[in-house]
Amino acid sequence: MPFCLGQQSVVSQQATLTLQEAESVAVANQPRLLAAQLRARASAERIRQARSGLFPTLQANATGALVADTGTATAAGNLTTSSVSDRFAYGGNLTQLVTDFGRTSALVSSTRDTAAAQNDVATLTRAQVRLNVRETYFQVLGAEAVLRAAKAAQANRQLVTRQLSALAQSELRSTLDVNFAKVLESEADLAVVRAESGVAQERTRLATAMGTSQPISAALADVSPSAEALPPSLDDLQQEAVAQRADLGAAQSQEKAANEFALSEKRLSYPSLNVLGAAGQLPYHDHTLHDDYAAAGFNLNIPIFNGNLFAARRAEAELEAQARTRDTQELRLQVSEQVRNAWYRANEAFQSLDVTARLVAQSQEALRLAQDRYQAGLGSIVELNEAQLNETSAEISAADANYTYLTRRAELDFASGLLN
């Protein structure tokens, strides 16, 4: 089912919500991602701003002096001319940059790289949103697995309490066993209450991760852990991360932008050449003036001395570019560390799957034997309770291992740049 912004109520009306659908809702609705995308578009507009310096500038003007003393030769302010007289004129001015020795072009390149970095930031935000959805989705599934185990333990203890009560009435069991069973049943009830609260809290977190204020009431489609082991080669994953990590791409683009900006600051001390043109008409004027006017020329600006302003700006930009290079190197080291740690954590979780599966089978067999012993009068209620606790704990550990592995696989995919 397709999702779009403004259709948040669709989520709560679904019978089942899959992980892919949850991610689609988050990508469409998450304000943090939408803000990053808008900033990327805003950054792209700065390219046009910087490029505008390469194009001609045309301005239209209209000037009038309708009450003037024709005997006046000078004036102060906006009407200053060689002769102040009654007149009205309209026309235009054209200015075109001929060359500034590449300074404007360097600024355009710098803003283009900055815009590319902002696009990478938006891509990184998208990956973070997807990772957050996956983590909360698996946490909901894990909390629901704990709730199922708690309810199963509750039902089992309720059954034991009823059986013991019936046996106590026949004087086949002591009232002590009945009271002890009721205590265990109350503990199971409390565990169910806590598990239900945990599910509600995790579903609230999932709704926030999806960017919706509507509660997530739909059942979540289960996700099974992959039967395949993790890729054995860390070098391949690290190379993939270097090629695809959006934050590393953003750092590299920012480094290039800083280098281009340093180049533009260096060219501040170079001359700049502009050609100028002006033309217009004077429909109302003094008889001593012509009916129209036109002029063309050039302006060569050669910086000579400005208190070392340009030198300081150049030095600042070059030092900032060097710092950006070090930032990129540092981030590359961090990416390598993140990939390694994510792989080790995922591999640990993968190996735990088989261990917890064996633990569940062993605890179930131990519970069966404890029940047989108790029914045969060979075991105590304490022994049965311990077996029940061990079986419930094993079920919870197995569920936790499954969703922990899925979460760590998602973290590994993020560290490798696969969630872009």
CATH number of the domain where residue 372 is located = 1.20.1600.10
Question: What is the per-residue pLDDT for 27?
Answer: 95
> Would the pLDDT of 196 be above 80?
yes
Identify whether 293 is part of a domain.
no
Identify whether 344 is part of a domain.
yes
Question: What is the per-residue pLDDT for 5?
Answer: 44
From residue 407, give the alpha-carbon distance in Å to each of 138, 198, 205, 209.
7, 18, 15, 15
Winning range, highest mean pLDDT, from 22-36, 155-169, 218-232, 398-412: 22-36
> Would the pLDDT of 82 be above 80?
no
Stated pTM of the model: 0.83
The pLDDT of 388-400, averaged and rounded, is 84
Expressed as residue numbers, the domain containing 232 is 23-60+89-282+308-415
> Would the pLDDT of 63 be above 80?
no
> Would the pLDDT of 229 be above 70?
no
Portion of the chain with pLDDT greater than 70, in percent: 88
Q: Say how many domains are in the chain.
A: 1
Cβ-based neighbour number of residue 367 at 10 Å: 20
Question: What is the per-residue pLDDT for 184?
Answer: 82
The mean-pLDDT minimum among 36-50, 85-99, 100-114 falls in 85-99
> Would the pLDDT of 9 be above 60?
no
Question: What is the per-residue pLDDT for 70?
Answer: 54
Identify whether 15 is part of a domain.
no
Identify whether 131 is part of a domain.
yes
The mean-pLDDT minimum among 63-77, 300-314, 390-404, 406-420 falls in 63-77
Band (pLDDT 50/70/90 cuts) for residue 74 is: very low
Identify whether 100 is part of a domain.
yes
Identify whether 72 is part of a domain.
no
Identify whether 183 is part of a domain.
yes
> Would the pLDDT of 325 be above 50?
yes
Question: What is the per-residue pLDDT for 143?
Answer: 92
Question: What is the per-residue pLDDT for 287?
Answer: 66
Q: What does pLDDT average to over the chain?
A: 86
Question: What is the per-residue pLDDT for 86?
Answer: 62
Identify whether 18 is part of a domain.
no
> Would the pLDDT of 288 be above 80?
no
Band (pLDDT 50/70/90 cuts) for residue 390 is: confident
